[in-house]
Structures are given as C-alpha cells and as structure tokens.
C-alpha cells in the first residue's frame, strides 16, 4: 500500500496516538482524527487541556486511594460522612456505582485490583497495606463492608481481607448477591438463582 | 429431544452435508475413514459445544478452510430451535448461536441432552481415573447444566491455589536453596505470613467449591448404583454383583454420609494438613481433581479382577443406566450417539443393547461398517458415508 504521508505528518501522528486507546482501531482513530481536525480550534484545545490535566492533576487520595484532584479527596474530607463505616471496592468505577445510589454515607477504600495469583497479583500489588493502616487503633471504623465482585477473584479478595480485618476486632460484612431488583426470575441465570436461594431470608 | 435436520460445512472432512435423520433409528454406514465418526462428533459438538476427541479447535475445521459450521434444527416436544456452532481459525474461536442469536449457555443447553457411547468407553473401568472423572462430570452435567459452572469455578480456584504454591516455592528457592534435613523434609523454609494467609484463603475457597463437586458426584453415583447393579445382572446373568463407589483420593473419613457442608470442612481440614507437602511440590494434592470412581464386581475392583467380557457388560450397564436416568429425570429421551460400539460387543450383549434401543424412545445414531449387524428393523433410516458425503441408498442426494 502506497502512503503519501510521512511519519511526522500531524494527522498520521494523531491517528497513531488515538489507535493506542482501548477499543479504538485504525478506522475509528482515523474518524476521530478528522473530526478533531474539522472541529473548532477551541474544542481541540479544550480536549488537549483535559488530556494534560488529567495526568497532571489527578492523583491518589492518601487516605482512600481513590482518584482525586485534592488530597485528601472530597469524600474523605466530607464531615457529613460516617467514619464508622468503611466500604472496600476493587476499582474507582465500582465506587462511582455505589455513590450513584446515594444510599451509602460512609467512607471508601479503593484496592485498585483484586487478588489474582494466575496473573501474579498478590496483596502487595493492591492497596491493602493502606487499608490496614486505616484500621489500626485508634480507628473510628466499626464495620468494613467488602464490596468486591461476586466472582472467584472478588470472593478470594474478600476472604483474604476479612481475615486481616477481623484481626483488629472490627466487624466485617460482605455485600449480598442474588436477583436484580426489577428483574424477572424467569430470565436470571442458574448460578444467581442458586445463590439467591442459598442466602434467602425469613419473612 | 431429537434432531430434525443437520447441516455441516467444512467440519473435519464433511465438506457439505445436509442430513434429515429419522426421529428414531439412524444407521450411518461406510468403510473406515470416510467420516462416520465426524458426523457423530458434529451432533455431539452442537449439544455440548465441545468435541469428544481431544483435539484442538482448529482440527475441527476442514484442512485449508477458515471456518467450519454445524447447524441443526432440534425438537423438544412442540418446540423447535435452531442451534449452530461455528469454529473460526486465525484466531481460533467458537461461536454458538441459538435461533441465530448468541445465547447464554444455560439457555443454549436447555433441554439438549446427548449421550455418547464410543469404543473408548469400554476401557472405562481399566482406564485412567481422569477418564472416569470425565465420564462422571459429563453424566452429571447432562442432569444439571449449572454443574458446568461449578466445575469451572473449582478449576479456576485450583489454578489460583497452585499459582500461590508455585510462587511460594519460587520464593523459598530464592531465599535459600532447598536443603533436606535428616528426616527427609525440607528444612527451615519460612514463608511470609502474607503468603501463608493467602494460601488459607484459597484452601477455604477450594474446599467450598470442591465440597460441592464431591457432593454432586457422590449423589449421582448413589442414585444410579442400584440400577447399574440390576442392569448388569440382567446382561451378564452371572450372579455377580456390580457396584459403584466414589473414592476421594485422600480423605480418609467416610464421606458416604457426610453432608455437603461437612464435605467442605473435611476437605478444608485435609488441605490444611497437606499444606507442607503441597508447598514442597508446588501443587494441590487433595480435592475432587484427583478423585476416582471405583467400578466393582462382587466387592472387588473391576479394573483388576474383571474379565474383558465382564468389563464390557459393566460399561454397557453403566451407559444404559445413564440413559434411563436422564429419561426419568427430564421426561424426554436423550439423543443417543453410538459410535461403532456393536463391533466391540459379542452377540449376546449386542442383543441386549438392541433390545434396550428398541424399547427406548430415543433418537439413535449408530455408525457401523456393517449395517446388517444392526438388529433394528422398524423406524430406521440408513445412509452411506463416503468421502465425507452422505448418500441415501434409495436415492443418491
């Protein structure tokens, strides 16, 4: 295939950079590059600024390890939140999911991953030490809620943390799993139904 | 369930086969190496999304082709569904479709039950424990599709625990070359508290997943054992008693009566006891991945004491029971795939098998080199397999 462009061509450079992004192939990258090219200059500058700022200004909160611009983050410094409840999640998007419900008003801790010996990810590769540091006395935390996903890796991580947390005499709970609200029993998969039956409750 | 029509393209040596089988007995005959077993395999693939031969995905695609496809119309009662499996190469992957849409496996497998009876099954009592586990797991999966998820979960946890053990082994090797003390044990290898508690986590998880599998296997064997005994008695007329028993590799306690939760704690205790040995070897010793089932004859292990003829009768009893059990459980006869079995059985056992097939309202696919040996006369359709193509004897298609 003959190419008229050189490696230094800004359009080619942009396409190459964009196609490094997850889920973006050569075709989409080309479409995005030409979209940016045709867009008003302010829009391109705003995109460029956002890209640079996200790297320069976002860091980890020294308390909860969530992504933040200010350290400590908004959630850690919010005096209205309950210090006694600590919810542990695997990834920042998990935290956002819980936060969207507005039904949890405690504090968070983000692990940035789950245990996966097959991929060589052990406790030292997660923010476990930081979590333990928050639980060492005198700690206001009275209950740790383990909100990792209900799959093999998430369960292993929860099991591991529950042992570590219990060593401090702090109550540990695990988020429930079962049927989705508003869903039909008819369409639920077998394992979910089996689990829902296992953890059924009295009425 | 029965297969109303089957279409394969570039599946092994079957270039293009359009096949409308009989709802009862189908005999596929032809010389060896023409593709008879491939046709059986294509039905098996549709029903289970895997091959019964231990081959790579790519091997299922006709040499030089990029894609193989098997499509069938399957009937359960009044309902007809169209199942399709596509195997793609470069990169190899498998796509399963139900009525043209990708379906969750629990939906895809709903009501699809196929039992294969192949010459290799006759080696079951004398073969490796792995083959017996495979037989057992497949039979259970046919009775309960979610068993597949339980097995997968167990396998994933097992791999994780082994990975932890391996990393501990590597770490101890780095810290200190393994040296053997006078008692033959690995001396003074300390592990960080971290990896020790990580190992406990996976022991606990493995015990939960493993206990479930042991409970399922044990329950299945306990359910079918009386019927296997009765069927064997009718086939062999020898007065000898056939038995089936689940034999866990290590657990010494009597597991016949333990509840599922007791099984989990028994397995956990065993894993804790094995800790040291597992760490030295770098893999998990105990658990259902090492268990076995013992096929017994008058209280003795058939693998060691049964004659060739007795082994065949035992396997025949086991297979017939598996089929009857499925029929009772689902109220719908499973599709039976018999790959050249009757050539391996003597006249008397063949007679028993054909009596059984006559009475069982299943759709049956039988491959053979000599169709005249298939002693079934009614509701039967014969097709000839020649160089990967199917020919009906009356009219060439």
Residue B243 structure tokens: 């038995």
DSSP B89: T
DSSP B305: H
Closest CA to B97 of B74, B79, B118: B74
* Measured distance CA(B313)–CA(A175) in Å, rounded: 52
Considering only CB atoms, which chain B residues are within 8 Å of A116? 160
3-state secondary structure string, chain A?
Answer: CCCCCCCCCHHHHHHHHHCCCCCCCHHHHHHHHHHHHHCCHHHHHHHHHHHHHHHHHCEECCCCCCEECCCCCHHHHCCCCEEEEEEEECCHHHHHHHHHCCCCCEEEEECCCCCEHHHCECHHHCCHHHHHHHHCCCCCCCEEEECCCCCHHHHHHHHHHHHHHHCCCCEEEECCCCCCCCCCHHHCCHHHHHHHHHCCCCC
* Measured distance CA(A126)–CA(A129) in Å, rounded: 8
- pLDDT confidence tier of residue A65, bands split at 50, 70 and 90: very high
The contact set of A with B (CB < 8 A) is 115-118, 120, 122-124, 152-153, 155-156, 159-160, 163-164, 189-191, 194
What are the CA-CA distances from residue A109 to residues A90, A163, B124, B382 (Å)? Answer: 9, 17, 53, 68
The answer to whether position A67 is within a domain reads no
A181 has pLDDT over 90: no
Tokens 């190419």: give the residue.
Answer: A3
Statement to judge: residues A40 and A130 lie in one domain: no
Could you give the domains of chain B?
A: 1-113+334-397 (3.40.50.300), 121-331 (1.20.1050.90)
B52-B58-B61-B64 Cα dihedral, nearest 10 degrees: -150
The answer to whether position A1 is within a domain reads no
Last residue of a domain, one of A18, A42, A57: A57
B170 near A CB under 8 A = no
DSSP B386: E
Q: Collapsing DSSP states into helix, strand and coil, what is residue B242?
A: strand
Statement to judge: residues A89 and A154 lie in one domain: yes
A20 has pLDDT over 50: yes
Statement to judge: residues A142 and A196 lie in one domain: yes
Q: Collapsing DSSP states into helix, strand and coil, what is residue B209?
A: helix
* B interface test, pick of A156, A161, A191 with most B CB neighbours within 10 Å: A156
Written as tens digits, the pLDDT of chain B (397 aa) is 999 999 999 999 999 999 999 999 999 999 999 999 999 999 999 999 988 888 888 899 999 899 999 999 999 888 899 999 999 988 889 999 999 998 887 778 888 999 999 998 998 999 999 999 999 999 999 998 889 889 999 999 999 999 999 988 888 776 554 444 444 444 444 556 778 889 999 999 999 999 999 999 999 999 999 999 999 999 998 899 999 999 887 665 667 778 888 899 999 999 999 999 999 999 999 999 999 999 999 999 999 999 989 999 999 999 999 999 999 999 999 999 999 988 888 888 999 999 999 999 999 999 999 999 899 988 999 999 999 999 886 543 3
What CATH number is given to the structural domain containing A48? 1.10.8.420
Going edge to edge, which strands form the sheet with B380-386? B114-117, B335-339, B364-368, B25-29, B380-386, B389-392
Statement to judge: residues A52 and A144 lie in one domain: no
Give backbone dihedrals phi and psi of B175, rounded to 5 degrees, phi first.
-70, -40
Statement to judge: residues A48 and A96 lie in one domain: no
Which chain A residue has its CA at the smallest distance from B168's CA? Answer: A117
Work out whether the CA dihedral B8, B11, B13, B16 comes out positive or negative: positive
Statement to judge: residues A144 and A95 lie in one domain: yes
A8 or B277, higher pLDDT: B277
Closest CA to B349 of B221, B254, B240, B231: B231
Statement to judge: residues A168 and A129 lie in one domain: yes
Radius of gyration of chain B (CA): 24
Are A143 and A134 in contact, with CB atoms under 8 Å apart? no
The answer to whether position A64 is within a domain reads no
Give backbone dihedrals phi and psi of B335, rounded to 5 degrees, phi first.
-75, 135
The answer to whether position A30 is within a domain reads yes
The answer to whether position A71 is within a domain reads no
Considering only CB atoms, which chain A residues are within 8 Å of B160? 116-118, 152-153, 156
Statement to judge: residues A145 and A194 lie in one domain: yes
Residue B181 structure tokens: 């003390």
The answer to whether position A70 is within a domain reads no
The answer to whether position A63 is within a domain reads no
Statement to judge: residues A44 and A94 lie in one domain: no
CA angle B240, B140, B119 (to 5 degrees): 60
Q: What pLDDT does residue B42 have?
A: 96
> B167 and A116: CB-CB below 8 Å?
no
Are A66 and A73 in contact, with CB atoms under 8 Å apart? yes
CA angle A101, A105, A110 (to 5 degrees): 85
What CATH number is given to the structural domain containing A195? 3.40.1360.10
> B198 and A116: CB-CB below 8 Å?
no
Residue B239 structure tokens: 């007065």
* Measured distance CA(A16)–CA(A30) in Å, rounded: 9
Q: What pLDDT does residue B186 have?
A: 46
Statement to judge: residues A98 and A184 lie in one domain: yes
A196 has pLDDT over 70: yes
DSSP B288: G
> What range defines the domain where residue A190 resides?
81-202
Q: What pLDDT does residue B183 have?
A: 46
Q: Which of B149, B160, B167 sits opposite A156 (nearest CB)?
A: B160
> A194 and B146: CB-CB below 8 Å?
yes
Considering only CB atoms, which chain B residues are within 8 Å of A197? none
> B201 and A190: CB-CB below 8 Å?
no
Distance from CA of A41 to the nearest CA of B (A): 42
> B106 and A122: CB-CB below 8 Å?
no
* A interface test, pick of B104, B201, B209 with most A CB neighbours within 10 Å: B201
Count of domains observed in chain A: 2
* Measured distance CA(A109)–CA(B188) in Å, rounded: 37
> A159 and B156: CB-CB below 8 Å?
no
Considering only CB atoms, which chain A residues are within 8 Å of B146? 190-191, 194
Statement to judge: residues A26 and A89 lie in one domain: no
Which chain B residue has its CA at the smallest distance from A188's CA? Answer: B106
> A152 and B153: CB-CB below 8 Å?
yes
Tokens 């409750």: give the residue.
Answer: A201
Tokens 């073969």: give the residue.
Answer: B127
Q: What pLDDT does residue A6 have?
A: 57
The number of C-beta contacts closer than 8 angstroms across A and B is 53
Considering only CB atoms, which chain B residues are within 8 Å of A156? 157, 160, 201-202, 205
The answer to whether position A174 is within a domain reads yes
* Measured distance CA(B366)–CA(B343) in Å, rounded: 11
> A159 and B167: CB-CB below 8 Å?
no
Work out whether the CA dihedral A15, A20, A22, A23 comes out positive or negative: positive
Cis peptide before B71 (omega within 30 of 0): no
> B194 and A122: CB-CB below 8 Å?
yes
> A155 and B204: CB-CB below 8 Å?
no
Instruction: Return the percentage of chain A with pLDDT > 90, whole number.
Output: 77
- pLDDT confidence tier of residue A198, bands split at 50, 70 and 90: confident
Give backbone dihedrals phi and psi of B98, rounded to 5 degrees, phi first.
-120, 120
B202 near A CB under 8 A = yes
> B205 and A124: CB-CB below 8 Å?
no
| Alpha carbon A99 to chain centroid, angstroms | 12
Distance from CA of A85 to the nearest CA of B (A): 24
* Measured distance CA(B95)–CA(B108) in Å, rounded: 12
> B198 and A124: CB-CB below 8 Å?
no
What are the CA-CA distances from residue A102 to residues A94, A96, A98 (Å)? Answer: 13, 10, 7
Q: Which of A118, A189, A190 sits opposite B160 (nearest CB)?
A: A118
Average pLDDT over residues A17-37: 93
Closest CA to A109 of A69, A61, A71: A61
Which chain B residue has its CA at the smallest distance from A163's CA? Answer: B197
Give backbone dihedrals phi and psi of B49, rounded to 5 degrees, phi first.
60, 20
Q: How many CA atoms lie within 13 A of B85 on its CB side?
A: 23
> A160 and B145: CB-CB below 8 Å?
no
* Measured distance CA(B366)–CA(B28) in Å, rounded: 6
* Measured distance CA(B38)–CA(B390) in Å, rounded: 12
Q: What pLDDT does residue B185 have?
A: 45
Are B213 and B283 in contact, with CB atoms under 8 Å apart? no
Q: Which of A123, A152, A156 sits opposite B194 (nearest CB)?
A: A123
Which chain A residue has its CA at the smallest distance from B204's CA? Answer: A159
Considering only CB atoms, which chain B residues are within 8 Å of A177? none
Work out whether the CA dihedral B383, B386, B389, B393 comes out positive or negative: negative
The DSSP annotation for B113-160 comes to -EEEE-GGGGGGGGS-HHHHHHHHHHHHHHH-TTHHHHHHHHHHHHHH
Q: Which of B149, B167, B204 sits opposite A117 (nearest CB)?
A: B167
> B167 and A164: CB-CB below 8 Å?
no
């Amino acid at each position: 295939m003959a190419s008229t462009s050189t490696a230094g061509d800004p359009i080619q450079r942009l396409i190459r950079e964009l196609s490094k992004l997850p889920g973006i192939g050569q075709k989409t990258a080309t479409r995005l590059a030409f979209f940016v090219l045709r867009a008003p200059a302010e829009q391109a500058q705003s995109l460029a600024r956002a890209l640079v700022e996200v790297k320069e200004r976002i860091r980890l909160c020294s308390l909860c390890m969530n992504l933040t611009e200010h350290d400590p983050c908004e959630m850690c410094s919010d005096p209205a939140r309950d210090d006694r409840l600590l919810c542990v999640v695997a990834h920042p998007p998990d935290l956002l999911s819980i936060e969207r419900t507005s039904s949890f008003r405690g504090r968070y801790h983000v692990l940035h991953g789950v245990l996966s010996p097959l991929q060589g990810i052990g406790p030292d590769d997660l923010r476990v030490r930081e979590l333990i540091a928050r639980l060492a006395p005198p700690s206001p935390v009275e209950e740790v809620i383990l909100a990792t996903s209900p799959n093999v890796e998430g369960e292993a991580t929860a099991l591991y943390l529950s042992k570590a947390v219990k060593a401090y005499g702090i109550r540990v709970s695990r988020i429930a799993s079962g049927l989705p609200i508003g869903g039909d029993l008819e369409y639920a998969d077998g394992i979910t139904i089996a689990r829902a039956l296992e953890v059924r409750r009295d009425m | 369930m029965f297969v109303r029509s089957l279409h394969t393209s570039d599946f092994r040596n079957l270039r293009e086969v359009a096949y409308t089988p009989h709802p009862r007995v189908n005999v596929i005959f032809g010389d060896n190496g023409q593709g008879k077993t491939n046709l059986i395999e294509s039905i098996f693939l549709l029903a289970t999304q895997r091959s019964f031969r231990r081959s790579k995905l790519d091997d299922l695609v006709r040499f030089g082709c990029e894609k193989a496809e098997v499509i069938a119309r399957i009937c359960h009662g009044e309902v007809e569904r169209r199942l399709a499996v596509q195997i793609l190469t470069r990169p190899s992957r498998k796509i399963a479709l139900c009525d043209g849409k990708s379906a969750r496996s629990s939906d895809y497998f709903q009501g699809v039950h196929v039992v294969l009876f192949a010459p290799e099954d006759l080696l079951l009592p004398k073969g490796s424990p792995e083959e017996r586990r495979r037989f057992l797991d497949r039979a259970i999966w046919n009775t309960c599709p979610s068993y597949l998820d339980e097995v997968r979960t167990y396998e994933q946890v097992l791999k994780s625990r082994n990975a932890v053990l391996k990393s501990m082994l590597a770490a101890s090797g780095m810290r200190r070359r393994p040296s053997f003390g006078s008692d033959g044990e690995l001396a003074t290898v300390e592990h960080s508290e971290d990896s020790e508690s990580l190992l406990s986590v996976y022991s606990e998880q493995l015990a939960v997943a493993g206990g479930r599998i042991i409970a399922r296997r044990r329950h299945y064997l306990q359910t079918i054992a009386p019927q296997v005994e009765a069927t064997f008695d009718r086939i062999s007329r020898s007065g000898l008693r056939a038995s089936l028993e689940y034999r866990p590799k290590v657990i010494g306690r009597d597991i016949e009566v333990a509840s599922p939760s007791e099984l989990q704690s028994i397995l956990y205790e065993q894993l804790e006891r094995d800790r040291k040995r597992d760490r030295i070897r770098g893999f998990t010793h105990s658990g259902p991945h090492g268990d076995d089932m013992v096929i017994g004859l008058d209280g003795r292990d058939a693998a060691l004491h049964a004659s060739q003829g007795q082994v065949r009768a035992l396997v025949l009893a086991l297979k017939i029971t598996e089929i009857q059990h499925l029929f009772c459980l689902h109220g719908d006869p499973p599709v039976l795939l018999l790959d050249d079995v009757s050539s391996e059985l003597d006249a008397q056992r063949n007679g028993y098998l054909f009596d059984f097939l006559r009475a069982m309202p299943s759709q049956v696919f039988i491959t053979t080199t000599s169709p005249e040996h298939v002693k079934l006369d009614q509701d039967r359709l014969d097709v000839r397999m020649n160089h990967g193509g199917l020919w009906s004897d009356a009219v060439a298609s």
